[in-house]
Amino acid sequence: MSNTIDLLSIQTPEHLRSGQEHQTRFDCGEFEVNIFETFQSSTKVKITYEGLSISSMIRGHKTVYTKEGETFKFLHGSSLILPEGETIFADFPEADLKNPVQCATILISKDSLESQLKFLNINYPEGQDWTLDFSNFHFNNNSGLVRAFNELLHVATQDEPNLPLSDLLLKSFLIRIIESQKEHLKEQNSITAKSQLHVIKNYIKENLGQTLSSEILMKVGNCSKSTLHRMFETYCGKTPGAYILQERMVNARNLLLQADSNISDVAYQTGFSSLSYFVKQFKAFHNCTPGDFIKKFGK
């Protein structure tokens, strides 16, 4: 299930846009918000921070390499946390001036993090251990985490700092991170137990431009129609049709962000044979038409 943080306009002034990653920093007292933007394809970029970092992709993607040798795509709809001093490397295979990679990163000092978690454990100890799971460092966002991330970004980017509100939002944000990690781990365990759903979701992701009927998905997952619907409603909280529409709308959003995107082509690539129906569904999902979306966020 994809939950993406709100798009931001490009922060880097046009005359500074180059292959070097540009950083825009916002001081929020107990933490800071950084918007990183990359405008040229690059490989094996070293990434390490002083303090805890919590990052979420806004547009584009990067390929991450961990010290343990794990490789994965860091995409929109997911977050990545790193403890202080942890080093990873990243490729930016598709970044260019017209299609920059943009990532929001919250940085929290070790002392500030310990203070925030201590507050939560002292004041809200019932049935909960408020701690971050660094073994589960790359996870899907849930809707609560997205709301908390958006609130932090909104407050941080205002002209006048609001430190009391920032402190309260940081506590909320950490709670949402912990909840999202646990939810992701539960979902991964459930998907492992229900390998049929894992196969079906991968098929959907790879075939968003094709017909995706219940009959096709039943064949892919080797399951009955009732089992198909039960798996999606249990583990995704929605019907197969609603899940497919969500994935198509997220894919359409990213295709429209590409330079010289064509609305008709995007509609076709995301599985819509009717342009008017695509526009209707896009507006219902994103609260604006594809044309208005391009005007506001496109390059």
CATH of the domain at 273: 1.10.10.60
**Which of 106, 100, 101 has its CA nearest to residue 149?**
106
Confidence band of 2 (pLDDT split at 50, 70, 90): low
Q: Within this chain, do residues 278 and 218 fall inside the same structural domain, yes or no? A: yes
- pLDDT of residue 54 exceeding 90: yes
**Which of 44, 142, 43 has its CA nearest to residue 93?**
43
Within-domain flag for 61: yes
Q: Within this chain, do residues 32 and 135 fall inside the same structural domain, yes or no? A: yes
Last residue of a domain, one of 128, 156, 191: 191
- pLDDT of residue 129 exceeding 70: yes
- pLDDT of residue 1 exceeding 60: no
Contact predicate 140/78, CB 8 Å: yes
Q: Within this chain, do residues 186 and 204 fall inside the same structural domain, yes or no? A: no
Identify the pLDDT of residue 299.
58
Q: Which domain holds residue 116?
A: 14-191
Q: Within this chain, do residues 171 and 210 fall inside the same structural domain, yes or no? A: no
Q: Within this chain, do residues 121 and 49 fall inside the same structural domain, yes or no? A: yes
- pLDDT of residue 190 exceeding 70: no
Q: Report the percentage of the chain scoring pLDDT > 90.
A: 62
Confidence band of 136 (pLDDT split at 50, 70, 90): confident
Q: Within this chain, do residues 233 and 257 fall inside the same structural domain, yes or no? A: yes
User: Residue 273: how many CB atoms within 10 A of its CB?
Assistant: 9
Which residue type sits at 45? V
Confidence band of 210 (pLDDT split at 50, 70, 90): very high
Q: Within this chain, do residues 106 and 198 fall inside the same structural domain, yes or no? A: no
- pLDDT of residue 228 exceeding 60: yes
Identify the pLDDT of residue 222.
87
Concatenated DSSP letters for 186-206? HHHHHHHHTHHHHHHHHHHHH
Rounded distance between C-alpha atoms, residue 266 and residue 202, angstroms: 20
Identify the pLDDT of residue 198.
86
- pLDDT of residue 88 exceeding 90: yes
Based on the structure, what is the number of domains in the chain?
Answer: 2
Identify the pLDDT of residue 192.
59
Confidence band of 140 (pLDDT split at 50, 70, 90): confident
Average pLDDT in the 232-259 region? 92
Q: Within this chain, do residues 68 and 213 fall inside the same structural domain, yes or no? A: no
Within-domain flag for 92: yes
Contact predicate 254/59, CB 8 Å: yes
Q: Dump pLDDT digits (tens) for 275-290.
A: 999 999 999 999 999 9
Rounded distance between C-alpha atoms, residue 54 and residue 138, angstroms: 10
Contact predicate 247/204, CB 8 Å: yes
Q: Within this chain, do residues 199 and 181 fall inside the same structural domain, yes or no? A: no
Confidence band of 160 (pLDDT split at 50, 70, 90): confident
Contact predicate 248/284, CB 8 Å: no
Cα–Cα separations (whole angstroms), residue 9 to 78, 118, 198: 20, 36, 34
Angle, vertex CA 56, rays to CA 210 and CA 190, nearest 5:
60
- pLDDT of residue 241 exceeding 60: yes
Cα–Cα separations (whole angstroms), residue 107 to 40, 67, 152, 161: 24, 21, 12, 16
Identify the pLDDT of residue 275.
95
Identify the pLDDT of residue 185.
83
Average pLDDT in the 232-240 region? 89
Average pLDDT in the 19-36 region? 91
Mean pLDDT of the chain: 90
Last residue of a domain, one of 191, 226, 256: 191
Within-domain flag for 2: no
Confidence band of 3 (pLDDT split at 50, 70, 90): confident
Last residue of a domain, one of 160, 191, 222: 191
Identify the pLDDT of residue 153.
92
